[in-house]
Amino acid sequence: MPAVLAVLVLSGCGGAVRVDPPNPQGDTARACRTLEGRLPRTLDGAERVPSEPPSPYVAVWGEAEIALRCGVPRPAAMDPQQQVTEVDGVPWFNDPARPALFTALAKGGYVEVTISARHQPAGVLVDLAAPIKAAFGG
């Protein structure tokens, strides 16, 4: 299920959130594990919550309000010549067919973030830029 983020609240308020983890390899997997340890506990007012199944390649805030998957494939909808938005030194592709889906084009890997309408994407992307740059050596 490439470039599709499956998010489902499993057990109401405060429960684990179901997110299909990606399966990165090599340097990308190492960078993603580094990123996991650098992510904030709170993102745009939402607390980090467990994901199901647990994975070092997935982070969720709120009840599926913000979900991050590290080590996803290159976005299929992204044209190699396409202009992307840069936020604090991290280029982001925003899928026109799915406006809540943003993909960081990190050195050596892709980090996908889905942001619900409850949050302003610009603030979330700013808060994720430093951890992504640090993890991927950017």
Give the residue-averaged pLDDT of 76-90. Answer: 90
Pairing of strands 51-52, 17-19: parallel
pLDDT band at 79 (very low <50, low <70, confident <90, very high): confident
Task: List, for residues 90-114, the tens digit of each pLDDT value.
Answer: 999 999 899 999 999 999 999 999 9
Tokens read off for 3: 């470039």
Residue 6 has pLDDT above 80, yes or no: no
Q: Which residue type sits at 81?
A: Q
pLDDT at 28: 97
Least confident of 4-8, 55-59, 67-71, 101-105: 4-8
pTM for this entry: 0.88
Sign of the four-CA dihedral 120, 123, 128, 129: positive
